[in-house]
Amino acid sequence: MTDMSPSKELREKVRKLEKELGILKDSQLSCCGVTLAQCHVLVEIGRAGRISLSELASLLNLENSSMSRTVDKLVTKGMVKRDVDPTDRRYLVISLTRRGEEIYRKIEESMNLFFEKIYFALLVEKRKEVLESLNLLLLSVEKVRKSEDIGLKNREFL
């Protein structure tokens, strides 16, 4: 690529990384026969144990309506169940069924193995640096997203 600004180079590197990791989206290895969106939902529910729809939507940065449709499909597939929250009967909590637990464990095992291979393919002396750089990048992305969310909310009142 010719004389590219650092921000454009960042964009290209992230785009290429997304593309390379995109191979995971249809892979039986990574998501055990569910869509990528369903895979993310199963992992978040599995890690939380029990979670509300709004908490799940917030974790995945999605609208409640989109999250509800994804959860509905997982309920239909017998992977997720909804129960009345024992502490507040006005709310529903989402958890994994036995089948959902099995798929969650398979996803976690396959993804842990995949990323372990990537990690150990890094030069030993660069591993810590790569993790620190990814953390900085993630913090910057979160900061920009939050500031844009605040900007959008403020414009709603104009």
Q: 151 in a domain, yes or no? A: yes
Confidence of residue 135 (pLDDT cuts 50, 70, 90): very high
Question: Do 101 and 131 lie in a common domain?
Answer: no
* Tally of domains within the chain: 2
**CATH code of the domain containing 108:** 1.10.10.10
CA 30 to CA 123: how far, in whole Å? 25
Q: Which residues pair with 96 in a beta bridge?
A: 80
Question: Do 65 and 105 lie in a common domain?
Answer: yes
Look at residue 98 in the predicted model and tell me its pLDDT: 97
Query: Is the confidence at residue 70, as pLDDT, over 70?
Result: yes
For the stretch 82-119, pLDDT in tens is: 998 888 788 889 999 999 999 999 999 988 998 999 99
Is 41:56 a contact under the CB 8 Å cutoff?
yes
Q: Quick check: pTM over 0.85?
A: no
Q: Name the residue range of residue 151's domain.
A: 123-158
Q: 8 in a domain, yes or no? A: no
Is 12:1 a contact under the CB 8 Å cutoff?
yes
Question: Do 84 and 38 lie in a common domain?
Answer: yes
Q: 89 in a domain, yes or no? A: yes
